[in-house]
């Protein structure tokens, strides 16, 4: 892989101030400016209503300056009254005016204060609430899946994993684009905006406590750096990375990736298969599309299957995982199935198979 000039780019990136932030999915709410504008209009409406009430009963009020209350005086009185200033230069003198102050203007004053104070408190406490929400999210996040890069590959990977039963709350997306993270939020995923090659950004995604890490970056050299950083922070997580060029796959494995998918080669092989046998291509497309038709799953051997041969199992067994080896269904080295084996099988999708393979409920003996 060509990494020429990368050191210089890394130095330039370090010189720049790195900014990152965590974004949690939330309900669609009204824009802040629109909320403030709406509340200002409500406050003005209360002010106008109060002034009209005073103006309609202006004979019941006394102005110390000239003894009469006009429309301007009514607005002036409404303003100083609702703001609880109360200079006392304009006062209600008649019984009707005083009753109006008691039963109408006083409740309007309270409503006016609620609007202003409520807006102020909401602005002041928004950051505190967001910090509390982030801290609570971090404390509850365990064994989650971190997806680095939410382009076509990353989005498809998340959809496939979630189709097997993973909850959106257990997915954290890391991407340098704020708009991409917002798109992930709209789907229910938490997101971190930042450069995933930096350990502080990955720590924001709690990668050190993740169970699975999917690396789907746009560049192969970026994938290598992310894999190295993620493996350094989490020694036990399962890391799956995608690369464009076949020659970089081995470098990804040496960097700590458990599995490497060559996207260009895989797409090319599927194209070639579809040309030679369109029906075989359709079957392969169906197998890699989780949640519909036929699914390729991995599950443990159950007690009733111990001692059987792969062909004798009810499910269609493709391979047997024994230790660190993946053996074909017809491999003579398999012999009889063992309780510690895992089976890779093809199953028809039903509501009972819509769960993660490693947590799939197994039939009891």
Burial bucket for residue 225 (CB in 10 Å: 0-12, 13-18, 19+): buried
List the alpha helices (DSSP H) in 277-325.
278-288
The answer, yes or no, to whether residue 5 has pLDDT greater than 50, is no
pLDDT at 89: 79
Q: How many CB atoms lie within 10 A of CB 99?
A: 13
CA atoms within 13 A on the CB side of 333: 10
The answer, yes or no, to whether residue 210 has pLDDT greater than 70, is yes
Q: What average pLDDT score do residues 334-350 get?
A: 86
pLDDT at 20: 60
| DSSP letter assigned to residue 101 | I
| pLDDT tens per residue across span 225-256 | 999 999 999 999 999 999 888 888 899 999 99
The three-class DSSP label of residue 33 is: helix
Name residues whose C-beta falls within 8 Å of residue 232's C-beta, 6 or more positions apart in sequence.
199, 256
| pLDDT tens per residue across span 166-194 | 888 899 999 999 899 999 998 889 999 99
Decide if 205 contacts 197 (C-beta within 8 A). no
What CA–CA distances, in Å, run from 83 to 46, 49, 76, 124, 350? 12, 15, 11, 21, 65
pLDDT at 95: 77
Decide if 342 contacts 320 (C-beta within 8 A). yes
Structure tokens of 347? Answer: 């199953």
What CA–CA distances, in Å, run from 1 to 94, 163, 195, 243? 91, 34, 21, 11
| 32-56 helix and 71-82 helix, angle to the nearest 10 degrees | 130
pLDDT at 364: 36
pLDDT at 350: 65
Percent of the chain with pLDDT over 90: 25
CA atoms within 13 A on the CB side of 292: 8
Q: What's the pTM?
A: 0.59
| pLDDT tens per residue across span 8-66 | 444 444 444 445 667 767 654 455 667 777 777 888 888 899 889 888 888 888 888 77
| pLDDT tens per residue across span 318-333 | 899 998 888 888 888 8
Burial bucket for residue 8 (CB in 10 Å: 0-12, 13-18, 19+): exposed
Is residue 342 within a helix (H) or strand (E), and if so which, with residue range? Answer: strand 342-348
The answer, yes or no, to whether residue 358 has pLDDT greater than 50, is no
Decide if 311 contacts 334 (C-beta within 8 A). no
Q: What average pLDDT score do residues 138-166 get?
A: 87
| DSSP letter assigned to residue 164 | T
Q: What average pLDDT score do residues 98-120 get?
A: 78
Give the CA angle between residues 355, 142, 172 to the nearest 5°. 75
């Amino acid at each position: 892989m060509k990494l020429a000039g990368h050191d210089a780019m890394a130095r330039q990136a370090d010189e720049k101030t790195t900014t990152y932030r965590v974004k949690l999915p939330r309900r669609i709410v009204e824009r802040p400016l629109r909320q403030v504008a709406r509340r200002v209009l409500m406050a003005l409406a209360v002010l106008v209503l109060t002034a009209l009430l005073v103006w309609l009963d202006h004979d019941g009020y006394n102005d110390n300056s000239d003894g009469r209350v006009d429309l301007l005086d009514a607005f002036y009185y409404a303003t100083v009254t609702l703001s609880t200033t109360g200079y006392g230069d304009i006062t209600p003198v008649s019984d009707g005016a005083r009753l109006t102050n008691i039963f109408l203007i006083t409740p309007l004053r309270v409503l006016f204060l609620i609007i202003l104070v409520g807006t102020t408190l909401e602005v002041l406490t928004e950051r505190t609430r967001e910090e509390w929400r982030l801290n609570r999210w971090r404390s509850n996040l365990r064994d989650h899946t971190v997806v680095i890069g939410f382009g076509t590959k990353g989005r498809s990977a998340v959809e496939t994993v979630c189709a097997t039963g993973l909850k959106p709350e257990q997915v954290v997306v890391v991407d340098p684009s704020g708009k991409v993270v917002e798109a992930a939020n709209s789907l229910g995923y938490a997101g971190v905006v930042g450069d995933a090659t930096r350990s502080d950004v990955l720590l924001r995604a709690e990668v050190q406590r993740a169970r699975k890490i999917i690396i789907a970056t746009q560049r192969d050299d970026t994938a290598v750096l992310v894999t190295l950083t993620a493996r350094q922070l989490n020694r036990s997580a399962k890391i799956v990375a995608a690369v464009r060029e076949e020659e970089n796959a081995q470098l990804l494995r040496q960097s700590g990736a458990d599995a490497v998918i060559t996207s260009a080669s895989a797409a090319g092989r599927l194209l070639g298969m579809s040309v030679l046998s369109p029906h075989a291509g359709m079957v392969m497309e169906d197998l890699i599309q989780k949640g519909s038709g036929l699914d390729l799953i991995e599950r443990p051997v159950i007690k009733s299957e111990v001692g059987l041969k792969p062909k004798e199992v009810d499910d269609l067994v493709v391979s047997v995982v024994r230790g660190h080896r993946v053996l074909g269904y017809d491999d003579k080295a398999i012999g009889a199935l063992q309780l510690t084996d895992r089976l890779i099988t093809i199953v028809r999708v039903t509501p009972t198979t819509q769960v993660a393979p490693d947590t799939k409920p197994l039939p009891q003996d």
